[in-house]
Amino acid sequence: MMAPAIEHRDHRAGHRRLPDRLDDPAVGSILHGIAAELFPICRSITGPGVRETLERLRRRIDLEIHEVPSGTAVFDWTVPREWTLRDAYVKNARGERVIDVRRNSLHVVSYSTPVQARLPLAELRRRIVTLPEQPGLIPYRTSYYAESWGFCMAHDRLLELPDGDYEVCIDATLADGSLTYGEYLHRGRSEDEILLTTHVCHPSLANDNCSGIALLSLLAERLQGVETRYSYRFLFAPGTIGAITWLARNEHRLERIRHGLVLSGVGDGGAPTYKRSRRGDAAIDRAMAHVLRHGSPSAAVIDFFPYGYDERQFCSPGFDLPVGSFQRSRFGTYPEYHTSADDLAFIRPEHLAHSYRLVTAALDVLESDATPVSLQPKCEPQLGRRGLYTAVGGDRDAPARCMAMLWVLNQADGRHSLLDIAERAGMPFAAIADTAAMLRDHGLVAFAGDGAA
């Protein structure tokens, strides 16, 4: 696994890694702890759950929280009314809660309109969603843009309900309010930005998406105080409508975005999946593919398609931003997806840590890529008299280090970036970048301009 690196003395003079600033052996446990803190919060696309989540993140990072009023036009959409849920339950004839949102926030269909009624079981069943094929699990369902109400429960529990009348209550408000999202900007030497975003609208689902919120918040926290080449914009917003709202409010500054990544579902044990941007050949696409090739050989890199998470908003034809999507198991392909089985036991510290290191390694590629130019371009320079063979000798990696030197020297014609060289050599970017820095220190290469951006 290549070590993450974000800080440099000077971009054109190679890069310096600070893994102790961005990583440590306990990173997986820290990420799992953040996810566990956020897991119980009942979130939706608007309302107090989103605000509570963002307020907790603000304890870690200097998060700017935005409120956009209901009714605001955002392209072809309108910011919806705000949903506030206070309680939801179904009681049997003995007054026992057979469905109780206080036990699990998945029990109520998100955005349900308020209701207070007494219904016979036959009528109530029409308002209850279950998964007969997964009878022990509670499904996650929403009704954002079509006013309705309902409950979700385990199918085997539904089968146990006796005939009779049931007291039904959804104590909720659907009224004018606002949509809430959070932003944190880490300023780099350049105003060019890397956009990192994740959705904050799902309730008690650990992988989708407490894991993504945890990863981005920790990365933002650890970037504080670190000098970077790019500026980093972290966006925590409700899915779909949050991204659309942010784009509508920030259209004037989108030209600053040079790279972007949408994160979700990064804590399960499946092989990592990267979905390319609509462009298909953006720098983030190359960086992620390279990192996965060397850091997770079982990973999948797939082409863009217009469904999924918020990459489809950033990659819509009116913007076509260089934004890809990273997750582990693809959404909808694992049995725990959008069910109560997506709990804190489903995500593991080691998988969270692996995802974190893959993301930071890709950022290292973007931060550190540069174009070397040989100062001794006519034939190979004599490495022995400069002590360079000695510098790479004495360990079993010496042959690989030597090949890295030869590749850099051969390709350092001012037309190939370090990533170009790493891809052609079939070697990790970090090995090529470190070698190029060493060759610079020995006066054999220089760096042209600011490298690939």
- The amino acid at residue 374 is S
368-to-124, 241, 286, 451 alpha-carbon distances in Å: 59, 34, 14, 8
* Measured distance CA(141)–CA(159) in Å, rounded: 20
pLDDT at residue number 449: 65
What φ, ψ does residue 354 adopt, rounded to 5°? -60, -45
* Measured distance CA(371)–CA(450) in Å, rounded: 8
Tell whether omega for the bond before 92 is within 30 degrees of 0, i.e. cis.
no
The two structure tokens encoding residue 114? 């308020």
Q: Whose CA is closest to 342, among 150, 155, 201, 203?
A: 203
* Measured distance CA(325)–CA(108) in Å, rounded: 29
* pLDDT tens for each residue of 422-443: 999 999 999 999 999 999 999 9
**H-state helical runs in 27-176:** 27-38, 48-58, 121-125, 155-160
What single DSSP character describes residue 82? E
DSSP run (H or E) holding 118: strand 115-120
Q: Whose CA is closest to 309, among 322, 323, 325?
A: 325
Which of 50-64, 324-338, 383-397 has the lowest average pLDDT? 383-397
pLDDT at residue number 391: 52
The two structure tokens encoding residue 151? 């409950």
* Residue 1 reports pLDDT greater than 70: no
- Per DSSP, the residues of 139-173 read B--B-SSS----EE--HHHHHHPPSSEEEEEEEEE
Longest dimension (CA), the chain: 92
pLDDT at residue number 401: 85
Helices (H) and strands (E) in the chain, counts: 14, 18
The two structure tokens encoding residue 382? 């004599």
* Measured distance CA(209)–CA(286) in Å, rounded: 25
* Cβ 171 vs Cβ 58: under 8 Å: no
363-to-33, 43, 174, 222, 265 alpha-carbon distances in Å: 24, 30, 41, 13, 19
For the chain, the average pLDDT equals 92
pLDDT at residue number 25: 82
Q: Can you say how many angstroms the Cα of residue 334 is from the centroid of all Cα atoms in its chain?
A: 18
* Residue 4 reports pLDDT greater than 50: no
Average pLDDT, stretch 251-265? 97
* pLDDT tens for each residue of 9-35: 333 334 444 344 577 889 999 999 999
**Cα atoms in the 13 Å half-sphere on the side-chain side of 121:** 10
* pLDDT tens for each residue of 314-346: 999 999 999 999 999 999 999 999 999 999 999
Place of tokens 């090949």: 403
The model's confidence at residue 143, banded by pLDDT at 50, 70 and 90, is very high
Q: Can you say how many angstroms the Cα of residue 34 is from the centroid of all Cα atoms in its chain?
A: 14
* Structure-model confidence comparison of residues 383 and 236, the more confident one: 236
**H-state helical runs in 111-240:** 121-125, 155-160, 212-223
What single DSSP character describes residue 105? G
List the end-to-end C-alpha distance of the chain, in Å, as a whole number.
24
pLDDT at residue number 392: 52
Instruction: Measure the CA angle with vertex 184, ends 37 and 331; round to 5°.
Output: 55
Average pLDDT, stretch 178-185? 98
The two structure tokens encoding residue 190? 């350049």
* Measured distance CA(48)–CA(25) in Å, rounded: 34
Average pLDDT, stretch 95-109? 97
The model's confidence at residue 452, banded by pLDDT at 50, 70 and 90, is very low
**Cα atoms in the 13 Å half-sphere on the side-chain side of 130:** 17
* Residue 453 reports pLDDT greater than 70: no
Q: Give me the domains of the chain, ranges plus CATH numbers.
A: 11-79+178-368 (3.40.630.10), 82-175 (3.50.30.90), 371-448 (1.10.10.10)
Instruction: Measure the CA angle with vertex 311, ends 309 and 316; round to 5°.
Output: 120
Which are the contacts of 443, defined by CB distance < 8 A and separation ≥ 6? 375
The two structure tokens encoding residue 407? 């590749």
* Measured distance CA(281)–CA(259) in Å, rounded: 12
